[in-house]
Amino acid sequence: MTSRKTILAANWKMNFLSEEAAQITEAILPDCRDSKRTEVWLAPQTLGIPAVSRVLDGAKNIRLGAQNCHWEKSGAFTGEISAPMLKEFGCTFAIVGHSERRWVFGESALTCATRAIGAVNEGLDVIFCVGETRDDREGGRTIEALREQLKPLFYESGVVEKVEQIIIAYEPVWAIGALTPAEPERIVDTHCEIADMFIKVGIKKVPPILYGGSVSTDNFAKILKLPGVAGSLIGRASWSAEGIRQLLEIAESIS
Ligand code: PGA
């Protein structure tokens, strides 16, 4: 599916003042420099981006991104941030459609898709998150729910041409911030289903698909070895330099 490096994406959510974010970044730089197979993608809170950017200063195998992005370059959109504003501080990607955006802040599938295409049109890569709720899972509606989240993205014009800038993160809502990740078979099957959705709409170059939701140093190796898993989007386990170092070491040990 892809020959690119394993993606270890750290979603720092609403954590760390700038100084702390910079310190964690500084502490992981030597490990990132030496990594052969893995790229670390850091997504600090928005105001932490400049401080992390200063520390990175073109460092290898590590990229900086945001946790959301508006589709317009500027305008009357209180509380939002645009791709040019993120790029000004060295961001090369944005997470879009994270379950907390969808379920806590009520962002619709269309809003998420519009954000994604706006960001890719401005040159950012996008980690586009999809995932079913516990009700979806228990009601046997997982695939339907994922399709509903992806459908507006497929209908956005330009998505075929820009598909190389899109990375999907499959994150079951019920597994985020929980005790255990989804079962391995479920991850493999769902990644296959997602890939199929792209192929069925005529997008032959299927984006890399990350798994996210309760990834930890205990289960990361097993998850990365699953077919169709291009990396992970990780919350809690990435909230310290030591955590990221250990995750990186695991990713590096898997060929
Ligand atoms: P978690 O969060 O790793 O803490 O479960 C994952 C995410 O929200 O992306």
**pLDDT tens digits for range 171-206:** 999 999 999 999 999 999 999 999 999 999 999 999
Distance CA 213, CA 236 (A): 9
Neighbours of 153 (CB within 10 A): 27
> Does residue 207 register a pLDDT over 90?
yes
Average pLDDT of span 77-83: 98
Q: Quick one: which atom of ligand 1 is closest to the CA of 181?
A: 5
Structure tokens at 97: 């459609």
Instruction: Give 125-147 pLDDT, tens digit per residue.
Output: 999 999 999 999 999 999 999 99
Check pocket membership of 173 for ligand 1, CB cut-off 6 A.
Answer: no
Q: Is the pLDDT of residue 4 over 90?
A: no
Distance 202 CA to ligand 1 centre (A): 31
6-254 has which CATH code? 3.20.20.70
Q: Report pTM.
A: 0.97
Q: Please give the pLDDT value at position 1.
A: 41
The reported pLDDT for the residue numbered 111 is 97
Residue type, position 70, single letter: H
Domain definitions of the chain by residue range: 6-254
191 is catalytic: no
252 in catalytic set: no
Q: Mind listing the pLDDT tens digit for each residue in 93-109?
A: 999 999 999 999 999 99
**Ligand 1, atom nearest to 13 Cα:** 8
Taking each helix axis as running N to C, give the angle between helix 18-34 and helix 49-56, from 0 to 180 degrees, rounded to the nearest 10: 30
pLDDT tens column, 107-119: 999 999 999 999 9
Of the candidates 39, 98, 122, 156, the residue annotated as catalytic is 98
Contact between residue 130 and residue 109 where contact means Cβ atoms under 8 Å apart: no
pLDDT confidence of residue 157? 76
pLDDT band, residue 14 (cuts 50/70/90)? very high
- Supply the mean pLDDT for the chain: 96
